[in-house]
Structure 1
Amino acid sequence: MVTVDQFDELASKIDNWGRWGPDDERGTLNLVTPEVVVKAARSVVSGETFPLAMGLSLDGPQTGAGVPGRINPVRTMLGINVPIAEGEHAAAWSDDVVYSPVQAATHWDALSHVSHRGLMYNGIPADSIDSSGATRLAMEAAGPIVSRGVLLDVARYEGVDRLPPGYPVTRDVLAAVEQAQDSPVEEGDIVLIRTGQARRFLEGDKNGYRNRPVPALDWDAPLYFHERGVAATATDNMSFELLPSSVPEVVLPVHVLCLVRMGMVQGQNFVLEDLGAACAVDRRYTFHLGAMPEPFLRSTGGMVHPVAVR
């Protein structure tokens, strides 16, 4: 097991507080420059599009147990074929209403999602969040999330459809996959990590998808992201990181290192199966990625329907 002292040593290596100024709330998304966005557009070759989000419904991945109260979206009808006016020629309208956590299915964690020792990214006090939401580091502070995406297909690297439960995706594993794929990760890229865990959800094994341990990021993976200048990252599982943790006293070390110390938004419940299969055919693992969260103001996370364009 990793000690708190080892954790703090790594945290100091990847710390970005003050890097983009004392008032910065975007963190590593500052690395997505106009030049990086142009590079992302140039990565489109075939024009194939791959939606990466889970469907939003009551049959989603949440149980309300992992994070108390985090349920699947509840959608009902606000009106069904309601006439706008009298008469046989009048139009009629139908409308829906939804109640949902913003992190119910495919989502980004905002930098306000996690605090550590009373502070969030850039030293912003945790009490900046109140009953009105996040007054600092809310999801809208991220701005546009559009860049070049790189898929690191760890499951395919290991020769399996799905990594075994508890498989630790370490810094060295990520570097090995990058080298094996010959897909160098560059500054400003968004890295998507495929463990194959989402296959359980797609195949109807909801409990298998939710149950821990799952294959996920280990505590030193953030060092890889820092070394490459990664702008954001996302995985195809619920927990994002190993649970139980390799740093027992911190519990969510990867959340703390990415969100709090690096200022890097992280995504969960991305669906990477079709994208992974396509990338494996021509061994081209880069693409244009558009992953804009819904602009709910003062939110600690954001629903997102990411689309990769190859």
Structure 2
Amino acid sequence: MTKRWTRRPEGSTWGDWGPDDELGRMNLLGPDQVLKGVAEVKEGRAFLLSLPLDLPGGNLLNPRRHPPRLFATDRDGEPSYNFDVSRLDPKFTDVISDDAALIHLQYSTQWDALGHVGGRFDADGDGVAEAVYYNGWRAGEDVVGPSGGSSPFEGPQARRLGIEKMAQTAVQGRAVMIDLRAHLGDDRTLVDMAMLDRIMKEDGVRVEAGDMVCLHTGFADRIRDMAGNPDAEVLHGACSALNGRDEALKTWVRDSGVVALIADNYAVEAHPAEEGHGDCCAFLPLHELCLFQLGVHLGELWWLTDLAAHLRAAGRSRFLLTAPPLNLPGAVGSPASPVGTV
């Protein structure tokens, strides 16, 4: 019980790390977990786990998200690109280019902050559901929408649960690769707990509390092959994804103590989620469980193929993951350029 809530979602971690916690399971990613990750470094080889941030290309996968736009900064009304500094003083020999970017923070390889998805829940115990986020932080008070200003879209900010909280942990520790593609190929498959457990047992994969879990599906390969011109219909029916409606899978996520779930696909879970589960439920059930209830961060659209192939050839599944998001106060998501080291 805190000043913000008198009841918490059943099975959630609200309050487990104090009444004002904004990290969730990221609290488990301390020195011991970093050392466990470092112990997995045998070869000193590093893998970049990010797609080029201008992929998937276009906005067909999500009409609200667009590719990054690079442009030159302004220098006295001129673009500051290939600027010859001798124009300022003939003695100088420098030529300078300076640019900026307009970027949708969750367009490509990304992290979801805990302020990304909340839920309608009766945290006050008064019989009326209100819009809240992890640990009872309130929509409109702690995660604040646009203020109006010069544009109706300007001014939103996560005063609590912003991505900078995650960044400040440095996000480094042991990660575990589960290679779904090696078992399921590129066909669309909804992965439930029975299937996931079978694959993990066949590959000798062990997941322990404090681990970050990576799921290789092959979806990012499809995106790269499309070279910036994605076929949305093909992609929405491609490759495996976790079945967020599977109760056994949700129980495993809750009980395993995983710090983060990461995938090379669009949403980690199947999107849209499987139908036929009554009239009242979350549109994104695994997002609800992870971000809203448990404080488990989600990573989406990572490039895992090269690392997954290397680990499989070596008979390994664990590695050191270093993956801080941008330290951008108030954002509810962030691009990432993660590095896996083996």
- TM-score, normalised to structure 1, is 0.89
In structure 2, distance between residues paired with 1:141 and 1:213: 35
Q: Is 1:43 paired with 2:40?
A: yes
Question: What SS class does the counterpart of residue 81 from structure 2 fall into?
Answer: strand
Task: Check the 8 A contact 1:110/1:138 in 2, yes or no.
Answer: yes
Say if 2:119 is the partner of 1:116: yes
The reply to whether residue 263 of structure 1 matches residue 290 of structure 2 is no
2:204 maps to amino acid: D
Mapped pair 1:90 → 2:88: no
CA distance in structure 2 between the aligned counterparts of 1:178 and 1:102, rounded to whole angstroms: 32
Q: Which has the higher helix share?
A: 1
1:25-58 CA distances to partner (integer Å, 9 max, x unpaired)? 000111112111111111100111110101123x
> Does the aligned pair in 1 maintain the 2:13–2:293 contact within 8 Å?
yes
* Structure 1 residues 182-219: Cα deviation after superposition (integer angstroms, max 9, x where no partner): 12111111100011111111212621587324431112
Selected match of 1:278 from 304, 310, 324:
310
**Correspondent of 1:218 among 243, 248, 258:** 243
Distance in 2 (alpha carbons) for counterparts of 1:105 and 1:308 = 18
2:25 corresponds in structure 1 to 28
2:158 to 120, 134, 139: 134
Tell me which amino acid in the other structure corresponds to 1:107: Q
Q: Quote how far apart the aligned CAs of 1:62 are.
A: 5.1
Q: Aligned equivalents of 2:57 and 2:13: distance in 1?
A: 32
1:75 aligns with 2:39: no
Question: Post-superposition shift, 1:241?
Answer: 1.5
Once the two structures are TM-superposed, the CA of residue 244 in structure 1 deviates from its matched residue by: 2.7
Structure showing greater radius of gyration is 2
Identify the residue that residue 179 of structure 2 maps to in structure 1.
153
Structure 2 residue corresponding to 1:12, chosen from 2, 10, 13:
10
Q: Which of 175, 188, 203 matches 1:181?
A: 203
Cα deviation code 1:64-89 (max 9, x no counterpart) = 35544311111123322212332264
Q: Which moved more, 1:86-95 or 1:118-127?
A: 86-95
| Structure 2 SS opposite 1:202 | helix
Cα pair 1:200 1:209 within 8 Å, conserved = no
3-state DSSP of counterpart to 1:61: coil
Are the counterparts in 2 of residues 209 and 237 from structure 1 also a CA contact under 8 Å?
no
What SS does the aligned partner of 1:12 have?
coil
**Distance of 2:61 and 2:43 partners within structure 1:** 40
Cα distance 1:67–1:202, how it changes in 2: closer, same or farther (>3 A)? Answer: closer
Aligned to 1:4: none
Query: Residues 278 and 208 (structure 1 numbering): CA distance in 2 closer, same or farther, change over 3 Å?
Result: farther
Q: Which runs of 5+ in 2 are unaligned?
A: 1-8, 74-79, 121-130, 147-154
Tell me the residue number matched to 1:5: none
Unaligned segments of structure 1, at least 5 residues = 1-10
Following TM superposition, by how much is the alpha carbon of 1:156 offset from its aligned partner in structure 2, in angstroms?
A: 0.7
Contact preservation (8 Å) 2:137, 2:143: no
**Structure 1 counterpart of 2:135, one-letter code:** N
SS, match of residue 151 in structure 1 = strand
How many aligned residue pairs are there? 293
Is the contact between residue 106 and residue 269 of structure 1 (CA under 8 Å) also seen in structure 2? yes
C-alpha distance after superposition, 1:76-113 (max 9, x if no partner): 23322212332264212111110011111100000000
Write the distance in 2 (CA, Å) between the matches of 1:29 and 1:210.
35
| Contact residue 198 and residue 209 of structure 1 kept, 8 A | no
| 1:152-201 CA-partner distances (Å, limit 9, x unpaired) | 0011133x3x2x12x11222222222222212111111100011111111
Q: Give the 3 Å change call, closer, same or farther, for CA 45–294 of structure 1 in structure 2.
A: same
Q: Determine which of 48, 53, 56 is the counterpart of 1:61.
A: 56
Distance in 1 (alpha carbons) for counterparts of 2:61 and 2:274: 19
Partner Cα distance (2:97, 2:137) in 1: 44
- Residue 210 to residue 119, structure 1, CA distance change in 2 (3 Å): farther
**1:185 counterpart SS class:** coil
TM-score w.r.t. the length of structure 2 is 0.81
Sequence identity of aligned pairs in percent? 30
Q: CA deviation at 1:240?
A: 2.2
- Between the aligned partners of 1:209 and 1:141, the Cα distance in structure 2 is 36
